[in-house]
A and B are shown apart, each in its own frame.
Chain A
Amino acid sequence: MEELRPDPDLLLDQMRRETERSREGQLKIFFGAAPGVGKTYAMLEAAHKKISEGVDVIVGLVETHGRKETEALIEGLEIMLRRSIEYRGAVLKELDIDAALARKPSIILVDELAHSNAEGSRHKKRWQDIYELLGAGITVYTTMNVQHLESLNDVVTQITGINVRETVPDFLLERADEIELIDIPPEDLLQRLAEGKVYVAELAVQARRNFFRKGNLLALRELALRRTAEQVDEQMQSYRRGKGVKEVWPAAERILVCIGPSPFATRLIRAAKRMAAGLRADWIAVNVEAPGKVRPSENDIKGLADNMRLAEGLGAETLVLSGHTASEAILDYARSRNVTKIIVGKPTHPRWKDMIFGSLLDELVRGSGDIDVYVISGDSRESMPHPAVKAGTAKVPARDWIISVAAIAGCTASAALMFRRFELVDIAMIYLLGVIFTASRTHRGPAILASLLSVAAFDFFFVPPFYTFVVHQKSYYVTFIVMFIVAFVTSRLTFRVREQAEAARRRERSTAALYRLSRELVHERGLEQLSAIATKHISTVFSQNTVILIPDDQGRLLTPAGEPESFVLDERELSVAQWAFGHRQKVGRGTDTLPGAKGLYMPLVASSRTVGVIGIRSDDAAGSFEPEQIHVLENFAHQVAMAFERALLAEEAQHAVLKAETESLRNTLLSSLSHDLRTPLAAITGSSTTLLHQDDVLDRHSRRELIFTIIEEAEHLNRIVRNVLDMTRIESGAITVKKEWLPIEEIVGSVLNRMAEKLIEHPFTTKIPKDLPMAPFDPLLIEQVLMNLLENAVRYTPAGTVIELSASVEDDELLVELADYGPGIAPGDEEQIFEKFVRGPAAAGGIGLGLTICRAIINAHGGRIWAENRKGGGVVFRFALPISEHPPVVETDEETVRFIS
């Protein structure tokens, strides 16, 4: 056989899964067909073997059921204490998962995978405990019988007639790294049973007798063998895929199963799972929110939720569809997803209903085209029709009943006005109007009442003899029956349309909310704003009690400060949220893990990490969340997680850039400072020591010279320190622009005042129009800009050359220009001079920060600054500050010619 190149994607996928696995513990299942085959015994033997190899093995929990051989094997093993849980007076002993996690052995033995934990445990099921242990990197040995496997559960029930309630999801078996089938011939097992070596607590004596029949045992054995073989086959397949062995791969199959709230649906689900497993196909479980359905009853909601959860547990994708008709909705969706097979249940309702309302099955089969439709038989005992009418009447407010009666009373009144002038048929029509009105405004019950009342009132008031229910003419009975049927059917149809519209609105609302959320999230950057937006949107869709928890550097979740609406998290709830964060799983109310918590916690899992947790609590304290809601919340969580991750990545990138920049700034600064600070310091030290030690030999002129040197150099140092400090403040973002309205003239005045001494050698002119309007800017910062520009001009131009300053307002901008007649800038350097540590020609004595500071300040004002060489020589610096609003109005008093009080 030719070795082919393996598909790189498949290889990558396999590698990824293997690395993930290598961090997790291994799962070994000792698998048997029935109790008593010796699974626990085999597990203990394996443990002893591992211990002899020097592996750290402990017994987490093993049930010996008093069997001597098993007890003998346990001796010499390290056994963990169990956790005692008091439940309804009895003390139940369960696996102490926290102790196991703390002890962290290499291998832990945990018997009976299918066991349900006592109420009050962390998980509902033991397999969840084991899942957590595996996640912590501990290898688990466990035991399990074939009848506990979810997808085979109903088959086993059919074979043995015994309903097994404790089940284990199939994916756990698929997840197992090793399955050891413990198999003994049925004869031997029956022999052991007879000897009392088999302990079957959960079955009564009679049931036990039924269970341990040779036929049953043979069937179960076959199931176990087949399931193990399938598993081996799967492992073989993945090996072959990895090695690039070409095989015939069936065209991708996709199965869709339609389920409802009835317990019968569990059969459909398991059948679909088996078929999907056999075909290696994906499968989808859908519920159709049929427009014909009235508001579902509590029982229906719960039943559907259970069924959806079961399907999810078996690996299905679940969702709820709605449409004009059920068949249309199913077929449309099936086509959109390339479904190849649809599984539906056999109808259990009477045939006449199909004739009146149409048959879903019939429509499906007719419209299915090339999709195969499988009809799975139902069990009449299980498929109890759900009490729809009862559901409808359950919560009808009194107002609706009043509307119903009032509508018919109103019809009677208007009919009385028409009576005698119109035919009786027309009067009957008026009543129909009342019934439709009632149906469109109220519930099912009042609508039916209106139908009945309309017939009664029609008979009582308008059919002779009047004011009695007695009818003489037989033909009126037909009128009554037709009238009732028409009223009844019309009311149902009206009601149905309303329900459908409502359902559509509900879904529309969550879709729209999701869209709005994602759209708003795109525009935000900060984690806090993102979290606020997400909280707001989730609150509007689900519950007012929403909180988003973000971890700190150590991965501890923190409640965001200052969110008044969010619920207060006590220590316990916070630890539940922390669990969700650590295990990347949803926990709490509505889930299988820690269902006793007050809220539901959903981790925000992004592509590379978990970025936080959404906590949500039902508005009424006892309320739970439906799978559909949880599904929608998951969509929200996904959006939020992506947005958070994006924000975190951006932040990290920015930090990295900032850090690099700070680093380079610091380096340049240090090298620059060491020179720039030492030069004036040397001059000061030299001058002052000369003054001190040679006071007697210095003439008056030399003394003054030295003193001036000290003053000048000190000022120079002051300028350097000021610039460095300004730069640092700007870089660290500590400078905020405090804009005030003021005339630029004022700032020019103060700058010229401060620099008066330096400007002595330069003729200086200003051109500022008298009526120049005020502009909004930060006076201190702009003073700094002008001062730096002026200092530059003085420093780089020869004494005696003119410096000109002018200001004007053009196009909503204040434009300030400072021109000199110096040597100008080397062409091409006009931009570069604004960069950090870029200095002009030598000996000018700056450190190259002045213009950088100017640019930073002007940019912070939203303005711009640039330099140009002038045609006649010299350079002109210009900066423009935006004037985006109108200056504030100042009421000036009348100009008085003269006033003497």
Chain B
Amino acid sequence: MKPSRKGRRRVLAASVAGLMILAACGSSGSEPTDGAADDAPTDTAADAGGEADDTNTSVDAVEIVTVTPTSGPYAQSGTLMLEGMKLAIEEVNAAGGIKALGGAELVLKVEDAGGTIESAVSAAERAVSDDGPVAGIGAYASSFTLAVTELTERAGLPWVSQSYSDQITDRGFNYVYQTSVMGNVLARSGIETYLALAEAEGVTIKTIALVGDNTGAILSVFDPIRNGVAEELGLEIILDQVWTPPLTDASPISTELAAAGADLIIFGATSFGDAARVLDSNEQFGVTGPYLAGGSWIVLPDYLEGLGKESVEGIVTFLGHPLPLSDELRDNFMLATGEPFMTPDAVTGYAHVWLLKEAIELAGVADREAVNAALKEIDLTEGPAAEAMAAQRIRFDEKGRRIDAAPLLAQWQDGVPVVIAPIEFAPAKYRSQFD
């Protein structure tokens, strides 16, 4: 006998209700990490991070969120940054959690930004879709961060980023903070420092070749060079080759580099595959550098394992955020992850978690507005966050830019990237690329 229409409607309503309950209980591509019970973070953090609540000073857990690429072409960088965050989360909770909130556990919610701006935006939508997180970190690539922070700003979620495109904090946003050196400062300072190193070797650099992709991070460094920095430093750009990733064949670039004969090649490739093709192709065409890379993208174990230490030996790069300045931090990270070294991305992930921890302590309440206000007035000169960053001080200006951000130069030496400048605290010396 066929069920009645009324009966079918009841079954349908019950099914829809059941699906809604299941959806509310499950997560969509996100995972809490470290120290949290499976069902605790969402409920407790929702209580903790929602509307302003003056009495919310004692909670079980406080949630922060990260949008980081753990798949796609930036997966290794994003994964290493995440490993740095997880190390910091463990340390925070092992030291007693958020003391101002009665020892609340710090919980990290992870959203995968994927490999495209669209997937990063989807991740950001998931990140801001609930009131749980009181602050966030991400999203590695400047292109991703620009898109992600459009959503976090609208959600009033304080957001800390290590991306170095100037545009990120040029938009007049109230909830976005950058800890890196800005692209234009990085370009000028990095090249100036390199020119000084070359002069000390008796080499004068007059001509440069710009070779890089057109992602936000590389453009934020290359555009200032094109638009005045080169001229001001007395340099002539004799070749300017830009590609849209992915680069399938680097031989046209190598042909032009071989013909141009620039004194210095300024190189920018956020994807390992593209960088590997350019370096390999250049080698075959007899183009041996010297190379000055722009950014932390070249300071990855992929280059060591994929290309071999000979291919990267001697390459110098200017960094907007540091390699580990403490042996203890570096050793703890290597022990925890098995990686051959700690990258700048991992250092910033670590430092950002500790920074947010300190901001929550200063706020005294698990509330987005209070944490945002704390970030605006924060001035850290001690503690793991400050100690991990160059200049060992963290404070922000009215735009949300870190006041004391200082560029560094690093060089691949014997299969390990080491800081070579500023000389006053660099653990290693520059090895000449001009032999």
Report whether chain A binds chain B.
no
